[in-house]
Structure 1
Amino acid sequence: MSLLDRITLKQLRALRALADHGTVTAAAKAISLTAPAVHIQLKNLEEISGTPLVDRESREGGLTPQGHAMLRAHDQIEAAITRALAEVEALNAGTCGNLTLGVVTTCKYFAPEIVALLAQDMPDVTIALKIGNRSELMQGLERGEYDLCIMGRPPREPLVGARSLAPHPHVLIARPDHPLAGRNDIRPVDLVDERFVMREPGSGTRILAERFLSDVAEKKQAATIEMSSNETIKQAVISGLGIALISGHTVAYELQMKRLVTLNVVGLPILRTWYVITPRDVPLSIVAQRVREWLLENAARFLPALDTEARL
């Protein structure tokens, strides 16, 4: 019997539970086993692997590098089985297959439209939509949880395939009664005394805003206030707390309703790109290929229309 034949899902689940819950007792409770049973599963897995997987010096269920390698295998296997079961359910329901689409939180303003249009154009495909931040999507890609993802900058790790989907404009928003609203000759230096509403550190929008601010205030530190989501940023600007550099696709409705305006600053909007991301080492299913091509061909149908002409 090969080593592969001796490894069981129960052993791998015990390892995952230990990593998640920190102690054998807590892990046993989480997966409805006794502590001795979990201990045996972990011991058997270590014997099969021929190496320690659990760091015995750690009091919180830490794993060795070999343990983390086995943990990644568990996550990938679980994701593959979950997707297979969803596909079986879709086939049993009379559809041709299912697809899990992951999108970053900024996409939540148009992602439901994607699902609705796909339901019209591909009624034989079941779409599962998952929304998360960039870090969560990258982790999910590594575990094999997604067939396709939509995000801005393609991640360097894990290795993925990326196809350009559409322009992604970032605009500077303000209240309609802001003193600079309606002007066409705004220079970055004119914004030096403004307060900027920013996303949390690590956000792609935050990184873009910080680069913009470095040009705005070369000698003076710009005043900033931090918000945790695009929704709170929009409400903060509407309330007069400041101005914000933000994805144009997140404020299309507020601009249409005249609750916000874009400031006509030289060099704006900043144009980035939306990408369709696929796992590099996982062959695309026929359904995933169909949906990816549909996304590339139909971006104009689901992305809000915006004036993205840069001001020079």
Structure 2
Amino acid sequence: MTQPALLNRLTFRQLQVFQTVYRQHSYSRAAAELGLTQPAVSAQIRQLEQALGQSLFKYAGKTLHILPPADALAESIGTIFGEIASLQMALSKLTGTLRGELNIAAVSTAQYIVPHILARFRARYPEVRLRLRVVNRNEALAHLAERSDDLVIMGMAPEDTDLTFMSIMDNDLLPIVWPGHPLLNTEQPTPEAFSRYQVLMREPGSGTRMALEKYAHQQQLALDHKLELGTSEAIKQGVMAQLGVAVLPRMAVQLELQSGLLAVPELPGFPLRHSWGVVQHRERYPTPITEAFMQLLRELLPELEQLFNAPLAPRSAPAFTCLP
């Protein structure tokens, strides 16, 4: 099929529906996200397949299989939609305002700092629509591979030459126990003593868990007694319930430490120091909005360090205003 004929038969709606089905691996989930019926989604995909002259998906039972032409189309669509977004942003910039959308994925431990960054960005660029998705580390890596978000905020930079990592803040990991725990009354508590208790951990692949497992390897600890919980919040509650001990980011437990609901024994080697950072794919073209976000972030670094290193207290009225 010649290029003009293909251009005349394709619609942006078909491409949008395809992209959602491709990402969701499901017609029904795509329909729910787009606010369409499943037959409407099926019809759009069928029309797209007719225009391309190739099948994109195949159901085997209840499982949707992605065919090779769909992978090629998904890569092209990412470029097409990226160029359209850049055009929209460039046009809005000519009018003196910045309009468009900024999609950010952040690992769950970074959710304590990202809203403070977004509040300042929103105050400066009120016409930009913000979308934040909180994910685990494996999901964050998948988002980077799929280039489905403009920016990903995570800890422990991935070892991938296709990615760039800009450190934004230290992520100190602390050993956490409940008040009155025997380790708090021990003059020199050891890592071995800590590991004899049940250690509450995140899922495999979590940055926090990877840091703890690296520490355990260095200290030659077996971590024979461990219990996997799904979120940092569940782990905090587990420690407070005396279900076990844990290693968590300082920012995740600041309120509980200050209020005396949790405590930190003085173990050698702690805090474990890592950094949160902004990760981008080198092949994802930076839009004016992502460039504006990164510029603001560089300006904010000293303020953020001061904000999160100060004792927790009610904050006075900020020097910026966020309006709907």
Q: TM-score band (shorter)? A: 0.7 to 0.9
Distance in 1, matches of 2:72 and 2:56, equals 9
Please list the CA deviations of residues 139-194 of structure 1 after superposition, one character each: whole Å capped at 9, or x if unmatched.
43444443333211334569222212222111111112111126563221222421
What runs of 5+ residues in structure 1 fail to find an aligned partner?
Answer: 308-312
Kept in 2, the 8 Å contact 1:195–1:223? The answer is: yes
Instruction: Report the TM-score when normalising by structure 2.
Output: 0.74
Instruction: Report the TM-score when normalising by structure 1.
Output: 0.77
Distance in 2, matches of 1:123 and 1:12, equals 29
CA gap of 1:296–1:259, structure 2 versus 1, over 3 A, is: farther
Q: What is the number of residues matched between the two proteins?
A: 296
What runs of 5+ residues in structure 2 fail to find an aligned partner?
Answer: 312-324
CA gap of 1:54–1:230, structure 2 versus 1, over 3 A, is: closer
CA gap of 1:102–1:181, structure 2 versus 1, over 3 A, is: same
- Displacement after TM superposition at 1:277 (Å): 1.8
Please list the CA deviations of residues 90-114 of structure 1 after superposition, one character each: whole Å capped at 9, or x if unmatched.
8799842353333221111122211
Amino acid at match of 2:166: R
SS of alignment partner, residue 73 of structure 2: helix
Kept in 1, the 8 Å contact 2:239–2:246? The answer is: yes
Match of 1:230 among 221, 229, 232: 232
> 2:50 matched to which residue of 1?
43
> 2:40 matched to which residue of 1?
32
> 2:295 matched to which residue of 1?
293
Distance in 1, matches of 2:266 and 2:154, equals 26
Please list the CA deviations of residues 270-294 of structure 1 after superposition, one character each: whole Å capped at 9, or x if unmatched.
1111112223123323443332133
Match of 2:241 among 227, 239, 242: 239
Kept in 1, the 8 Å contact 2:203–2:209? The answer is: yes
Please list the CA deviations of residues 180-211 of structure 1 after superposition, one character each: whole Å capped at 9, or x if unmatched.
12656322122242111111122121222223
Kept in 2, the 8 Å contact 1:91–1:97? The answer is: yes
The answer to whether the aligner puts 1:188 opposite 2:191 as a matched pair is: yes
Kept in 1, the 8 Å contact 2:86–2:287? The answer is: no
Match of 2:309 among 295, 305, 308: 305
CA gap of 1:221–1:108, structure 2 versus 1, over 3 A, is: closer
> 1:131 matched to which residue of 2?
133
Match of 1:66 among 66, 69, 73: 69
Amino acid at match of 1:289: E
The answer to whether the aligner puts 1:96 opposite 2:86 as a matched pair is: no
Q: Percentage identity across aligned positions? A: 23
SS of alignment partner, residue 117 of structure 1: helix
> 1:2 matched to which residue of 2?
3
Distance in 1, matches of 2:84 and 2:169, equals 32
Larger deviation: 248-257 or 289-298? 289-298
SS of alignment partner, residue 283 of structure 2: coil
> 1:164 matched to which residue of 2?
167
Larger deviation: 90-99 or 267-276? 90-99
Backbone CA RMSD of aligned residues: 3.8
Larger deviation: 4-13 or 231-240? 4-13
Kept in 2, the 8 Å contact 1:164–1:274? The answer is: yes
